[in-house]
Structure 1
Amino acid sequence: MTLLNNNERQQVTDAIAAVERETDAELVTVLAERADDYAYIPLLWAGLIALLLPGALLFFTAAISASTLLLIQWSVFVALALVFRLPAVTTRMIPKSVRHWRAANLARRQFLEQNLHHTRDATGMLIFVSEAERYVEIIADRGISQHVDDSEWQAIVSAFTARVRAGETRAGFLECIAACGEKLHTAVPATHERNELPNHLVVLD
């Protein structure tokens, strides 16, 4: 998984700059490799399987000593804990609802950390992506949401999510920024030149 190279990041920056020339909105894009390391998940599953293992072994093999059983149990626990720590494996073990909940929490934290709630006319807008969770969200401050209902961003989010699933994050960003720009140009047209927040892509890896 790569979080866009320098040339691709510059394309995102240029796309934001082009949109902001036509609107008072302040766009910030954030790309996260993953929303959480889910450190407890591998241990939870490994421990559960290790606890159930003795019963299964005794059911099929009665002649096994307690020390051997304990050794097998600990070996299985350690091996599974290591295997389940692999990012590709860990992600598949977590329910979609949990993954999206974690990603949504990170998106809201980023909205605050990137100072999108402190723009002059409350016209900050976050385009957030977490690749591991295949999660995309657009969060707009009240200066935008009072003109554009949140439901209007859903089609753009769905199209971007499909791009992320296909491994086309760069194209997804460019299409999303352009689509948002069309709505923002009408809803929050430019009244004066401004650039309160940086245009570069924020990468969390």
Structure 2
Amino acid sequence: MVIRHDSNAHARIAKAIAEAETRTSGEIFCVLAKKVSPYRDVSLAWAAAAALILPMALIPLGFEPGWIPGLGAGWEAAHLAAREATIGHALTAYALIQAAIFVVVFLLTSIPPIQRMVTPRSVRRARVRKAAMRQFLAHGLHVTEARTGVLLFASLADHQVEVIADKGIHSRVDQSVWGDAVEALSRGMKRGDSAAGFEAAVALCGAVLAEHFPPAERDVNEIEDKLVII
């Protein structure tokens, strides 16, 4: 489901948040990201490593400048100047091979599915968590009256989900209880039904908050009930 152009999906998620918050003084907010990082540094690292290591495998195969069109000499002279020219050709050929490998590997590892495969899970998780925390702060979830804001964050390209709960919740709720919400949102993302995933996760977060943070006597909706797409 493509949420960006689906007003019905946005309405469903907003409704799920509103219903969950009728039973709690907590605030729930949802963010869906296409991608949290271009990961160019990861592609550059793979390209640099490949350019450094792969050409070395050519040496045992008898690498010579003639492998590169235009650098091979049909005749070889024995004097010193010719030897120096041969060494120069060899170094040039080696550098060209390194450059070609660098470009090819960089372009390959920039293709989203391949990039995701070669990017360590720990790196993706750390960047998704950092992006989620930025959204948590940007939307004021850290300044609710009782510090009971909860952010549900999912990144499509990274296949990662984060749940961030504010200080007031940390002190009273075991963090393991958010596991079901994470799993529910992840299942929706895997099915390609992000809206249903957010709805299920919101309901589970609402149940946790309702148990520990019932509605205040004069409960005010401090954070708008909606999904934000970045």
TM-score calculated relative to the size of structure 2: 0.80
In the TM superposition, residue 2 of structure 1 has moved relative to its aligned partner by 4.8
**Superposition pairs for residues 28-47 of structure 1, below 5 Å?**
28-47=29-48
3-state DSSP class of the match of 2:100? helix
Describe the shift of the 1:197–1:106 C-alpha distance in structure 2 as closer, same or farther (beyond 3 A).
same
- Structure-2 separation of matches of 1:59 and 1:179: 61
Q: Which residue of 1 aligns with 2:61?
A: 60
**Superposition pairs for residues 124-203 of structure 1, below 5 Å?**
124-191=149-216, 192-203=218-229
3-state DSSP class of the match of 1:197? coil
Query: Where does structure 1 lack aligned partners over 5 or more consecutive residues?
Result: none
Q: Which residue of 2 aligns with 1:24?
A: 25
Deviates more, 1:148-157 or 1:162-171: 162-171
CA contact (8 A) 1:147 1:188 kept: no
In the TM superposition, residue 203 of structure 1 has moved relative to its aligned partner by 1.2
3-state DSSP class of the match of 1:35? coil
Identity of aligned residues (%): 36
Counterpart check, 1:69 vs 2:70? no
The aligned amino acid for 2:225 is N
Q: Looking at CA atoms only, which structure, 1 or 2, has the larger radius of gyration? A: 2
The aligned amino acid for 2:42 is I
3-state DSSP class of the match of 1:8? helix
- Structure-2 separation of matches of 1:115 and 1:98: 26
- Structure-2 separation of matches of 1:155 and 1:202: 22
3-state DSSP class of the match of 1:59? helix
1:6-45 Cα distance to aligned partner (Å, 9 max, x none): 3222211121112122221111111112222111111111
Deviates more, 1:81-90 or 1:61-70: 61-70
1:170-190 Cα distance to aligned partner (Å, 9 max, x none): 221111111112222232122
- Structure-1 separation of matches of 2:132 and 2:210: 24
CA contact (8 A) 1:4 1:170 kept: no
- Structure-2 separation of matches of 1:111 and 1:62: 56
Report the RMSD for the aligned CA atoms in angstroms.
2.1
